[in-house]
Structure 1
Amino acid sequence: MKSLTLSALIGSHPLGALASFGLLRLVSAIDPLAKLAFVQRDDWIASLESSVVTDEAKLIEVLSHWLKTNDLDEALGWATDVRMERSAYVKALDKAITASPSVRSEFLSSLVADGAVDTQKGLVKPSAFYMVSGQQSFLGGLREILAQARTSPEAIFQEAVFGPWRYRVRSHSLGWDPNTERLHALRSFAPTSEKPSCIAGAVLLAFWALPTMPAMSNEGRPQTIGFARRGRDQYFCWPIFSKPIDAPELTTLLQVGAKGWRCGQGLRSGIEAVFESSKFVFGQGYAVLRPARAIRSRSVVSG
């Protein structure tokens, strides 16, 4: 097993962490023994261990090939938007499951909190990772990013995984990247007149991580693994681990949640820190993840 440092995937950044999780899930399809960890440099940097993906060129080749398959088309092509009438959702899910256990059924079941329905419009309630509204479309936005990424996949993934992040793709980051929040007070012109930009490869990899953190319904209320509530506010929380773990272990780790990451007043062996990013909601349903902060670490305990 060789270790490959993914220098642009920063564990303390919500999009960086999500993209790291998605990358492990993707590489595990060709190397089930692949593992992910975070190493401390100036920050927590993702590191991939694999006997198949052993260097930078091979990883870019694997990621570029992924864009040429129809996996992402399957995951994104089942509807115009995630929010739909429940009867339409159930029909789409039944069709995907009947066809065979597939990429589509994984994402259908993880993106919707089945059983939680908007009483005013009768639409299913989506995952907490759904942060768009109005003219923006979650699935449509991802399809737009995918189309642009396919024009230069090697460059897209080189930027996303090894950096630097230059934000060359003109598309919305779906609210997952705090760096793309356009604040009025910090600009000399209205953000609405500025074309949004994103790290396309990181957003696509982050999307690929979502089946590890599915949405669900609790007595008719939507809940998404990875998100915690304090009062009316929501926070995305994730662990930083120095012990390399494989894809099934990652899924288990994410799904046990913050209580499972603790040991007394500290953290379990192998877990170095826990970060959280507040989900700031504005307008009519738009949201963005704010810059993260460490709420627990081996040197600092808070919250």
Structure 2
Amino acid sequence: MADVDLTGLIGTNPLGFLAALGALDVTTRRLPDTRLTLAWTDGLEPTARLTGPDSLDHLIDLCDTDRQRWADSLILTWGPGKQPMADLKPDPETELIPWLNAILAAMTPDDRRDVDLIAALLSEGALAGKGVSKPTHLHFTAGKQLFLVMARALQEDLKPADLREAFTGPWRYASTLPILRWDPSGERVYAHTSRAPESTKATGVPGADWLAFVGLRHFPVTTGGAALLTTGCSPEWKRGEFRWPLWNAPATSRVIMSLLAHPDLTKMTQPQRELFSVHRLLAAPIRRTDQGGYGSFGAPTDLPPAPTHTALATSPTP
């Protein structure tokens, strides 16, 4: 199997990390008889290494074909009255339950795509302040920027060249296709600008945003009481934190999901991290504006390993 180095996907950037998981998800589904793995290089700017596709061109072709097949996804097309859902805030009774039932009914043993992704977007029983369903903590759009409308635009208009830019870099931030706000360098805080974020057109790297959207399946959500809990995120909504590891041993999608959900990830000592092949653990603050609730990541930082407490050795009394 070939190793494909994705030098544009830098692991210290949440968008690069999520996009790498999306690429792994696509290839795992498109090449079911191949052992697909993902690892990260050890450099100052660790980049993704995907094992399985024959070449970069093969990977781009797989991802573009997969993108086209999302046109029939019930996540992107289902809605009451045949009008697709615009955002991840359905009414819990009249919209969420029928939506989930439709996705479950369409699932087959060979196709869990929609089931796996919806489990990372919404959880039955988690409610926002206005009584609508509460989306994943990684839902950063608000106001006129509607999450599913933007995801559909990416699905419809993305080109293979956008995927190549995401995979190889440098990221030019020249496209006006929608961005889902996971790149810290694209943060636009209202307090620091003359206009609200929705009134200005942001540019980004749409290939990375699309792959990151697909890669969200690695971060399933659940409820704790009536509160939403998102894998990798602290439970706070307005001021929380997203944490993710980088590992240098090739790992499959299932292994990675187990690692991301490890309850003691932030409590591991250096020797414990080494057992899991984790060479870095990063965290980025999640911030939401008071004007509209737009989410964004702050600058990521490295989290040090937990201290190793060694008991003092005592010499036996002669």
- TM normalised by structure 1 equals 0.87
1:108 aligns with one of 115, 118, 125: 118
Q: Secondary structure at the match of 1:23?
A: helix
Q: Which residue of 2 aligns with 1:255?
A: 261
Q: How does 1:38-77 map to 2 (within 5 A)?
A: 38-50=40-52, 53-70=53-70, 73-77=73-77
2:105 aligns with one of 98, 109, 118: 98
Structure 1 or 2: more strand by fraction: 1
Matched, 1:121 2:130: yes
Q: How does 1:9-88 map to 2 (within 5 A)?
A: 9-32=9-32, 33-50=35-52, 53-70=53-70, 73-78=73-78, 79-87=85-93, 88=95
Report the Cα distance in structure 2 between the residues aligned to 1:166 and 1:30, rounded to whole angstroms: 28
Equivalent pair of 2:143/2:198 in contact (CA under 8 Å): no
CA deviation vs aligned residue, 1:156-185 (integer Å, no higher than 9, x gap): 111011111112221342221111123578
State the 1:142 CA deviation.
1.1
Residues 260 and 144 of structure 1, relative CA distance in 2, 3 Å threshold: same
State the 1:216 CA deviation.
1.1
CA deviation vs aligned residue, 1:251-295 (integer Å, no higher than 9, x gap): 111122453772477524211010111111102221101221111
Report the Cα distance in structure 2 between the residues aligned to 1:190 and 1:124, rounded to whole angstroms: 25
Equivalent pair of 2:136/2:221 in contact (CA under 8 Å): yes
Query: What percentage of residue pairs aligned between the two structures are identical?
Result: 25
Pick the structure with greater CA Rg: 2
The answer for unaligned runs of 5 or more in structure 2 is: 79-84, 307-318
Equivalent pair of 1:113/1:215 in contact (CA under 8 Å): yes
The answer for unaligned runs of 5 or more in structure 1 is: 299-303
Residues 230 and 286 of structure 1, relative CA distance in 2, 3 Å threshold: closer
Report the Cα distance in structure 1 between the residues aligned to 2:101 and 2:302, rounded to whole angstroms: 41
Equivalent pair of 2:228/2:235 in contact (CA under 8 Å): no
Report the Cα distance in structure 2 between the residues aligned to 1:138 and 1:232, rounded to whole angstroms: 18
Q: Which residue of 2 aligns with 1:301?
A: none
Larger deviation: 164-173 or 225-234? 225-234
Q: How does 1:1-303 map to 2 (within 5 A)?
A: 1-32=1-32, 33-50=35-52, 53-70=53-70, 73-78=73-78, 79-87=85-93, 88-101=95-108, 102-118=112-128, 120-149=129-158, 153-182=159-188, 194-229=200-235, 233-259=239-265, 262-263=268-269, 267-269=273-275, 270-282=277-289, 283-296=291-304
Report the Cα distance in structure 2 between the residues aligned to 1:72 and 1:46, rounded to whole angstroms: 29
Q: Secondary structure at the match of 1:60?
A: helix
Count of paired positions: 293
CA RMSD across the alignment? 2.6
Residues 227 and 72 of structure 1, relative CA distance in 2, 3 Å threshold: farther
Report the Cα distance in structure 2 between the residues aligned to 1:277 and 1:100, rounded to whole angstroms: 35
Letter in 2 for 1:113: S
